[in-house]
Amino acid sequence: MSFTIATSPHTHQRRTTQQVMRWVYLCMIPGVAALTYFFGWGVWLQMLLALITAIFTEAACMWLRGRSARFAWRDHTAIVTALLLAVSIPAYAPWWIIVIGTSFSIVVVKHVYGGVGQNLFNPAMAGYVLLLISFPVQMTSWPVPQSLAQYTINFADSVSLVGSGYTQSGYNMEQLRTGVDGATMATPLDSVKTDLSRSLTPTEALAKPIFNDIAGIGWMWVNLAFLLGGLALIYLKIISWHIPGGLLLGLAVPSILMSLFAPGQAIGLSLHLLSGATMLGAFFIATDPVTAATSNRGRLYFGLLIGFLTFVIRTWGGYPDGIAFAVLLANMCVPVIDRYTQPIAYGHGGRS
């Protein structure tokens, strides 16, 4: 009988890390399809650039560490990191944005700490935060949903826009962010937060064309698509319900309380749950087995913490979404959460 010593992620099922990671990005397909439908081919271009950068960067890091470069794509962890970062940034962000973010995620966040299973922070979210802080204009320039867009962007325009910043007709991103009503449009969360800070009521803030459905045109269906993929991950036992359930509960409860006791300052429950990166964060990002808590009770607390921090950042912070910052802050708390939620080993009376 032989024993194999390996780093996390560990699962209680007969699946390799490669198989688990493959299911993760396969279950992202509904969300990616919705993003493409509402925001165009730039989503696929970002994913392609991220994948190329991740594979070559991972291979270079493995080579520098004296290991076979073939492992760069064997476990698929770099692929998942690249895809998660790619779908988190604006569809038509300049090509160098995703290259810088992916390289940072792989080199600094993952390999500087020792590679797979050793990183303290979620690589995709650390890369996202680096980009958001360093390049706030590019990282907040989401395109208008295609149904509200004044200009149609085809595939050739998408390639030109990501590569040079201009479409083949000469339009830049700022011009393309103008809706059919002639107003420059922001994302639903950003729009509502800005209007509330200007003392507008929630009803007035939700009167814009982008809110023709419950949580913003495009964004609601993107979140529902990622929810569908996330439920598939739970059904396949790739992830447990504890982290996504805790995150959604930690976000929903303070949102409901805020709506009851301070309705003029509340974003609203439906907007919290079905806009921004809520479902992507709950089912695909926070559930990273390396940087999350390990016990079921710990995972529940971990998810609750992320949900609550997301609510705080969205309500009073300087960034409209907050998922990435909440995940990284919760990553810092994992050692403490594990210390007080992991089962006590046999023969030990308690924790000192």
pLDDT on residue 73: 67
Q: How many CB atoms lie within 10 A of CB 169?
A: 11
Q: Point out the least confidently predicted range of 108-112, 176-180, 267-271, 306-310.
A: 176-180
**pLDDT tens readout for residues 306-347:** 999 999 999 888 887 899 999 999 999 999 999 989 876 655
Name the more confident of 214 and 39. Answer: 39
Q: Is-contact 155 36, C-beta < 8 A?
A: no
Q: Where are the domains of the chain?
A: 186-338
Name the amino acid, one letter, at 81. T
Mean pLDDT (whole number) for 91-96: 95
Q: Is-contact 99 150, C-beta < 8 A?
A: no
pLDDT on residue 121: 94
Q: Token pair of 193, please?
A: 């937060």
Q: Is-contact 143 316, C-beta < 8 A?
A: no
**pLDDT tens readout for residues 159-202:** 999 999 888 888 888 887 775 444 455 678 887 877 777 877 77
Buried b (16+ CB within 10 A) or exposed e, 40-61: bbbbbbbbebbbebbbbbbbbb
Name the amino acid, one letter, at 26. L
Q: Token pair of 76, please?
A: 């698929």
**pLDDT tens readout for residues 34-75:** 999 999 999 999 999 999 999 999 999 988 888 877 766 678
pLDDT at 7 over 60: no
**pLDDT tens readout for residues 283-303:** 999 999 999 999 999 999 999
Q: How far, in Å, CA of 315 to CA of 45, rounded?
A: 32
Q: Is-contact 306 286, C-beta < 8 A?
A: yes
DSSP-based three-state secondary structure for 14: coil
- CA-closest candidate to residue 288, choices 274, 277, 275, 302: 302
Helix ranges restricted to H, the chain: 17-26, 29-39, 42-64, 77-88, 95-104, 123-134, 136-139, 155-164, 173-176, 188-197, 202-205, 219-235, 242-261, 269-274, 278-280, 296-316, 323-341
For 174-224, where are the E strands, in sequence order?
Answer: none
